[in-house]
C-alpha cells in the first residue's frame, strides 16, 4: 500500500507538489497522469526517498519514507524515467548486484535472477555484457532489476519508452501479474492508451494538485464525456483545472503538443506599377 499525506515540495516560491493526499491499495495498478511540469516526477522522487519533501510524508506499506528511509526503500522497486545501468556487467551480474544491495540470500538471489531473465525474455543474453544490449533489452533489464527482490510496491515512470510492441505487451502482462500477487503498482505515463488498458484507478495531477481521481467510468462522469476515451477525459479535466487557475490551457496536452505561432513573413512589394515607372 502507498499513502501520501499532505505531500509538498517547494523550490523557493515555486510549488512543484502542493499538499498531495493519496492512498493506493494492495493489488491495485494506479495510473498517475498529468501534463508536462505537473509534478509527477517530483512526486515519484519523494516517494522513492531521492529528494526530501518540504512537508508531508510518504508511507510504503505503513513505513515512513522520511523517518525510516532504509526500511521503506527495502519494500520498493523503482523504474525511473532515466535509468542507469553498469554496462561492463553482464545481465546476470547486474541482477546479482541488485540482490546484494537488498540483502537477498545468495542462493535465492541466483534463483530470482534466473527467473527474471526468463520472464523478461533475456535468458539467452544473461551472460552477455549489458553494453551489447539493444535499448529495449536494457529497458527490460531495468525492470527485472526493480522486481528481482520481490518488492511490495512497484513505482514506474514512463515504462514503455524504447520497447517494441512485443516488449510492451510482455511488460503489461508482467505488471498485471505483479498486481495479482497483491503488490501495489504506481504507474506514471504519458501513454494514455496504456493507462486506460492497465489501471484500476487513475489520478490526474495539474500544477502540483490532484484535480481528479477515480475509475475510468468515474472520470468520464466527472468530465461529462460518456463513453469517451482517456485522452478526451484528460484534456477536459486538465483544461478545466487550468481555466480555474487562470492559466493558458494549451500546455495541458499530454505530450506538450503546443501550437506554434505562425512565422512572420517578409513581403516584397513592387510599387513600380503604382508609381507609373522607375521613378
Question: Does residue 89 lie in a domain region?
Answer: no
Q: Identify the CATH number of the domain in which residue 40 sits.
A: 3.40.50.300
* 184-238 pLDDT, tens digit each: 999 998 888 899 999 999 999 999 999 999 999 999 888 887 667 888 888 888 8
Pairing of strands 209-214, 201-206: antiparallel
Question: Does residue 105 lie in a domain region?
Answer: no
Residues whose CB is less than 8 angstroms from the CB of residue 189 and which lie 6 or more positions away in sequence, other chains included: 31, 32, 33, 156, 157, 158, 159, 160, 195
Buried b (16+ CB within 10 A) or exposed e, 193-226: ebbbebbebbbbbbbbbbbbbeebeebbebbebe
Question: Does residue 248 lie in a domain region?
Answer: yes
Look up the domain containing 165 and give its range: 2-75+151-275
> How is 99-127 classified by DSSP, letter by letter?
HHHTT--HHHHHHHHHHHHHHTT-GGGTT
Question: Does residue 260 lie in a domain region?
Answer: yes
Question: Does residue 83 lie in a domain region?
Answer: no
pLDDT at 142: 94
Are the C-beta atoms of residues 179 and 171 closer than 8 Å to each other? Answer: no
List strand residue ranges (DSSP E) for the chain, in order.
2-11, 14-24, 29-33, 55-60, 63-64, 76-79, 153-157, 184-188, 201-206, 209-214
Angle subtended at Cα 160 by Cα 259 and Cα 27, rounded to the nearest 5 degrees: 120
* 96-117 pLDDT, tens digit each: 999 999 999 999 999 999 999 9
Question: Does residue 146 lie in a domain region?
Answer: no
* 52-88 pLDDT, tens digit each: 999 999 999 999 999 999 999 999 999 988 888 999 9
Looking at the chain, the whole-number percentage of residues with pLDDT higher than 70 is: 85
Question: Does residue 98 lie in a domain region?
Answer: no
State how many domains the chain has: 1
pLDDT at 241: 65
Q: Classify 206 as helix, strand or coil.
A: strand
> 36 to each of 4, 156, 250, 263, how far by Cα in Å?
21, 16, 11, 25
Question: Does residue 6 lie in a domain region?
Answer: yes
Amino acid at each position: 500500500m502507498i499513502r501520501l499525506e499532505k505531500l509538498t515540495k517547494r523550490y523557493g516560491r515555486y510549488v512543484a507538489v502542493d499538499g498531495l493526499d493519496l492512498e493506493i491499495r494492495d493489488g491495485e495498478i494506479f495510473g498517475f497522469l498529468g501534463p508536462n511540469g505537473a509534478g509527477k516526477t517530483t512526486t515519484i522522487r519523494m516517494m522513492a526517498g531521492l529528494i526530501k519533501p518540504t512537508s508531508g510524508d510518504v508511507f510504503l506499506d505503513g513505513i515512513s519514507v522520511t523517518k525510516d528511509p532504509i526500511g521503506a526503500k527495502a519494500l520498493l522497486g523503482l523504474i525511473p524515467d532515466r535509468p542507469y545501468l553498469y554496462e561492463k556487467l553482464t545481465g546476470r551480474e547486474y541482477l546479482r548486484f541488485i540482490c546484494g544491495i537488498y540483502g537477498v540470500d545468495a542462493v535465492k538471489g541466483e534463483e530470482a535472477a534466473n527467473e527474471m531473465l526468463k520472464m523478461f525474455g533475456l535468458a539467452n543474453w544473461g551472460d552477455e555484457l549489458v553494453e551489447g544490449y539493444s535499448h529495449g533489452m536494457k529497458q527490460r533489464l531495468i525492470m527485472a532489476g526493480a522486481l528481482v527482490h520481490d518488492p511490495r510496491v512497484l513505482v514506474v515512470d514512463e515504462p514503455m519508452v524504447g520497447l517494441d510492441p512485443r516488449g510492451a505487451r510482455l511488460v503489461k502482462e508482467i505488471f498485471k501479474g505483479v498486481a495479482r500477487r497483491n503488490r501495489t503498482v504506481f504507474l506514471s505515463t504519458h501513454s494514455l492508451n496504456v493507462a486506460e488498458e492497465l489501471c484500476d484507478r487513475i489520478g490526474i495531477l495539474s500544477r502540483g494538485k490532484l484535480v481528479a481521481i477515480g475509475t475510468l467510468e468515474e472520470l468520464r462522469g466527472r468530465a461529462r464525456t460518456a463513453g469517451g476515451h482517456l485522452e478526451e477525459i484528460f484534456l477536459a479535466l486538465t483544461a478545466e483545472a487550468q481555466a480555474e487557475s487562470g492559466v493558458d490551457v494549451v500546455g495541458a496536452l499530454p505530450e506538450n503538443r503546443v501550437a506554434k505561432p505562425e512565422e512572420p513573413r517578409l513581403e516584397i512589394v513592387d510599387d513600380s506599377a503604382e508609381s507609373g515607372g522607375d521613378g
